Structure 1
Amino acid sequence: MQGKDLLQLAEQFGNPIYVYDAEKIQSQYNRLTKAFSKVDKLRINYAMKALSNVAILQLLREMGSGLDTVSIQEVLLGLHAGYEPEKIFFTPNGVSLEEIEEVAAMGVQINIDNLSILEQFGTKFPNVPVCIRINPHVMAGGNANISVGHIDSKFGISVHQLPHLVRIVENTKMNIVGIHMHTGSDILDIEVFLYAAEILFDVAKNFKNLEFLDFGSGFKVPYKKDDIETDIEELGKKLSKRFNSFCAEYGKELTLIFEPGKFLVSEAGFFLAKVNVVKQTTSTVFAGIDSGFNHLIRPMFYGSQHHIENISHPKGKERFYSVVGYICETDTFANNRKIAEIKEGDILCFRNAGAYCFSMSSNYNSRYKPAEVLWINGEGHLIRAHETFEDLLRNQIPLPIPAASI
């Protein structure tokens, strides 16, 4: 997409606004499938927690993707978007046995990550196909908040608990059809990922009726010029060869599954916001925009860096700015960032705004959530309207008696 296209969409639909480029999502999906083209049975399950708009789910469904879900509400959204139950994986953490049972009754593939729930579920439903999530105790993610395969992680069944796990399966006669791992996001070193994969292969040898192995995802995408990213092509070459040889050893052709979220949608997303005020203090020039961490929390939450452009005047002389929001506490998108000269009324564009941006938005300070637009075939299509005051009041119930009588 070009800056002029984004400016047109901001004018057409208002701001702040999220824009998603369908062509970029398609190219990322194709890149991943091409990297693993040597594997006969490959399945991509989009991790919809990254961006759960129904239109995006429908777009990925048309590409052939399945879904990775983490809540019963995500499962329901997937079904609403037209996915068949067997194309949906349910990989929750810390949910009740009742929620797992309810999802399993829908025909969705469940993935269980703790011994207690595994034993309870297997005792009640020994014939229901179950996947097991293993914690390989490998720190592959690039951020402590999003690395989930280390020894202190709440996710997965420890690989060191394998004897207990096998005993539960044998006692309950459970139908184990898959083994899963997810080491975390922003994977830089594919050798660490391959090391974790070997642990998964070793665990898989203990189960004789597997249908698939799920390697999670967490592939890093570039956030700035010359930024490093996961070498998908090299990973595809090495892991495909090893996976095929494991299938030969196992005596059965298994399906290789990935569950990418950020990799598919991050670079496809753009967040547009208008500059309300340019404020100079004794040491800083602030560009205050009509948004805040209620719309894009990742810089404050993770310390993530989103490239910011002034698309109203992209050729202007560059100056240093701190870009801040309108939330009534520290609300900073970028500190001391070099951006083309900013004037009040300019539109700033935040790159890599497709993953974990709108999906983590809120109504903090009673602000409205922004609209979402899908750019497809050279046109913008509104896929979520701007919220209104009526949306803030929805589901709120006024006091049944006059406040003065309390």
Structure 2
Amino acid sequence: MNNQFLISLTEKYGAPLYVYNAAIIQRQYQRMILAFSSVKNVKLNYAVKSNTNINILKYLNNLGAGGDCVSVQEVKLCLAAGMDAQEISYTPNGVSFDEISEVHQLGVKITLDNLSSLDQFGKTFPQAPVSLRINPHIMAGGNAKISVGHVDSKFGISHTQIEAIKEIVHQNQTPINGVHMHTGSDIKDPNAFVEAMEVLLGIAEQFDTIEFIDLGSGFKVPYQDGDIETNLEELGSILGARFNEFCAAYGKDLKLVFEPGKFLVSEAGKFLTRVNVIKQTPNINFVGVDSGLNHLMRPMMYDAYHRVSNISNPEGPKKEYNVVGYICETDTFASSRILGEVREGDIICMDNAGAYCFSMSSNYNSRFRPAEVLVIDGKDYLIRQRETFEDLLKNQIEIDL
């Protein structure tokens, strides 16, 4: 998608605007399948929370992906997108047992991450299979807030609690059909996956009803020029060989499952904003755009880096800017960036906006959420309309005062 095409989309649909390129999603999906082609049975369950637009779910379903869900609402979105229930995995954390029961009735695969829910599930649904989310006690991830496999994480059952797990499973005669882990996001070191896999295999070999091993995701994608990314092909070779070795020893061809979210959709997304104002202070040139942390929270929440460019004047004289939002907070998208000279009305593009961007948006400051567009084979489709003032009032109940 070249700059002029992106600018034309803002003219057609307005700004701010999220734009997703289906070709990149397909490229990433096929790259991952190819990287693990040495394994007989590989399944990618898309991490729905990264981008929940139903058209993204439908597109990935058509490619062959299942859904990785963390809420009953995400499960229902996957079903609405046409996914088969048995291709949907539900891995909640800290939810009520009522929600787990509701999801069970929908027929999807369930993974539990605490002993209490495991025991209650076995007693309530005798003989119903369930998977275990294991905490491997491994610190991995690009930020403390997205490192979820360390010893003090709220996620997963500690691998040191295996005897307690076995006791509950034996008492309730619960078939354990899989083991699961997810250590974090933006993992640079392949050894984190290798080490965690060994923990999972050690758990799996203690049950004779295992059907799959789920290694979660967390693959690092490049956010800036020269950025490190996970060597997926090397990882596929190492993990594939070890997995095949385990299957031979286990005496059964198991399924190897991954739950990529960011890897599949991050690079596919562009976030387009219009420049409202240029503000100069003694030390900084501020570019104020028609968006803020209400639309893209990652830079403020995770100190995440997004490439930023002035696609209206990419070859203009270079100047240093801070790109900031219009929210009544310090919502800085980018600091000390060198851009082509920015003028009011220009379109600023932020890259890697396909994952954890719109899905984390809000109406803070009573601002409207933006529109979304999906580009397939060069044709643009509006897949979410821009909110209006009526949307702000939709669920409010006005009383007489």
TM-score (structure 1 length as normaliser): 0.98
Separation of aligned partners in 2, 1:128 and 1:167: 17
* Matching residue of 1:280: 280
Does 2:123 match 1:90? no
How big is the shift at 1:106?
0.7
* Matching residue of 1:32: 32
How big is the shift at 1:123?
1.2
> Is the contact made by 1:294 and 1:361 (CA closer than 8 Å) also made in structure 2?
yes
Which whole-Å deviations, capped at 9, do the CAs of 1:316-360 have from their partners, x for residues lacking one? 121110100000121111111111110000000000000000000
The one-letter code sitting in structure 2 at the alignment partner of 1:376 is: I
* Matching residue of 1:380: 380
* Matching residue of 2:310: 310
Separation of aligned partners in 2, 1:115 and 1:98: 16
* Matching residue of 2:159: 159
Gaps of 5+ in 2: none
Separation of aligned partners in 1, 2:187 and 2:158: 20
* Matching residue of 1:359: 359
Does 2:69 match 1:69? yes
Superposition map of 1:326-365 within 5 A? 326-365=326-365
Gaps of 5+ in 1: none
Which whole-Å deviations, capped at 9, do the CAs of 1:123-175 have from their partners, x for residues lacking one? 11121110100000011212100000000100000001111111111111001
* Matching residue of 2:226: 226
> Is the contact made by 1:140 and 1:193 (CA closer than 8 Å) also made in structure 2?
no
Superposition map of 1:40-119 within 5 A? 40-119=40-119
The one-letter code sitting in structure 1 at the alignment partner of 2:329 is: E
Separation of aligned partners in 2, 1:220 and 1:102: 34
Q: Give the count of matched residue pairs.
A: 401
* Matching residue of 1:168: 168
Separation of aligned partners in 2, 1:318 and 1:72: 49
Q: Secondary structure at the match of 1:67?
A: strand
Superposition map of 1:243-258 within 5 A? 243-258=243-258
* Matching residue of 1:291: 291
The one-letter code sitting in structure 2 at the alignment partner of 1:179 is: V
> Is the contact made by 1:126 and 1:175 (CA closer than 8 Å) also made in structure 2?
no
Separation of aligned partners in 2, 1:192 and 1:350: 30
The one-letter code sitting in structure 2 at the alignment partner of 1:9 is: L
Q: Secondary structure at the match of 2:134?
A: strand
Separation of aligned partners in 2, 1:317 and 1:355: 32
How big is the shift at 1:87?
0.9
> Is the contact made by 1:141 and 1:186 (CA closer than 8 Å) also made in structure 2?
yes
* Matching residue of 2:398: 398
The one-letter code sitting in structure 2 at the alignment partner of 1:261 is: G
The one-letter code sitting in structure 2 at the alignment partner of 1:307 is: R
Superposition map of 1:16-31 within 5 A? 16-31=16-31
Q: Secondary structure at the match of 2:106?
A: coil
Question: Which runs of 4 or more aligned residues in structure 1 lie more than 6 Å from their structure 2 counterparts after TM superposition?
Answer: none
Separation of aligned partners in 2, 1:292 and 1:140: 29
Q: Secondary structure at the match of 1:105?
A: helix
Which whole-Å deviations, capped at 9, do the CAs of 1:348-392 have from their partners, x for residues lacking one? 000000000000000000000000000111111000000001111
Separation of aligned partners in 1, 2:182 and 2:192: 12
% identity of equivalent residues: 58
> Is the contact made by 1:269 and 1:353 (CA closer than 8 Å) also made in structure 2?
yes
Separation of aligned partners in 1, 2:307 and 2:318: 14
Which whole-Å deviations, capped at 9, do the CAs of 1:264-288 have from their partners, x for residues lacking one? 0000000000000000001110000
TM-score (structure 2 length as normaliser): 0.99
Separation of aligned partners in 1, 2:171 and 2:340: 66
Separation of aligned partners in 2, 1:302 and 1:277: 26
Please provide the CA RMSD for this pair.
Answer: 0.6
Separation of aligned partners in 2, 1:6 and 1:336: 24
